[in-house]
Amino acid sequence: MPKVEVTIPDHLEMQIAQLVEKGEFLNQEEAVEELLSTGIKAYKTSGPSDEDDEPSGFEDDGMMGHDDEYVF
CA dihedral 55, 61, 63, 67 (to 10 degrees): 170
The C-alpha atoms of residue 19 and residue 23 are separated, in whole angstroms, by 6
For the chain, give every domain's residue range. 7-45+57-72
pLDDT at 60: 47
Rg (the chain; Cα; Å):
14
Residue-wise pLDDT tens digits, 30-49 = 999 999 999 999 998 886 66
pTM tops 0.75: no
Does 11 score more than 80 pLDDT? yes
In this structure, is the dihedral angle defined by the CA atoms of residues 39, 13, 21 and 25, taken in order, positive or negative?
A: positive
The C-alpha atoms of residue 8 and residue 59 are separated, in whole angstroms, by 16
pLDDT at 15: 97
